[in-house]
């Protein structure tokens, strides 16, 4: 009986770890940060043609910074309010 109890508690611990690892906030935040960095780098020095298409607005720069801010928001939210381990 003790071995079964130990096995069940080990599975519960692994399940809680997997839930924290695959928290949707981590995935969304990470993707927004990665894409935000890429778009921000692309927007730092746009070509004249790109600026004309966007009517003089550095659209890639502003969009990249917004994506970075949103991604960091999700990651900070994850850090401040982690998933609570399941109660028995």
Q: What is the pLDDT of residues 32-60, one digit of tens each?
A: 999 999 999 999 999 899 899 999 999 99
Nearest to 64 by CA among 48, 43, 88: 43
Distance CA 63, CA 31 (A): 14
Average pLDDT over residues 1-25: 69
Q: For residue 2, give every residue at least 6 positions away whose Cβ sits within 8 Å of its Cβ, in sequence order, or none.
A: none
CB hemisphere CA count around 80 (13 angstroms) = 6
pTM of the predicted protein model: 0.71
35: tokens are: 């894409």
């Amino acid at each position: 009986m003790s071995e079964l109890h130990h096995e069940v508690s080990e599975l519960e611990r692994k399940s809680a770890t997997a839930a924290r690892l695959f928290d949707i906030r981590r995935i969304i935040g990470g993707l927004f940060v990665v894409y935000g960095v890429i778009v921000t780098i692309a927007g730092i020095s746009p070509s004249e043609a790109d600026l004309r298409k966007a009517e003089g607005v550095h659209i890639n720069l502003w969009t990249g910074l917004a994506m970075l801010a949103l991604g960091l928001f999700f990651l900070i939210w994850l850090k401040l309010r982690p998933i609570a381990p399941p109660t028995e």
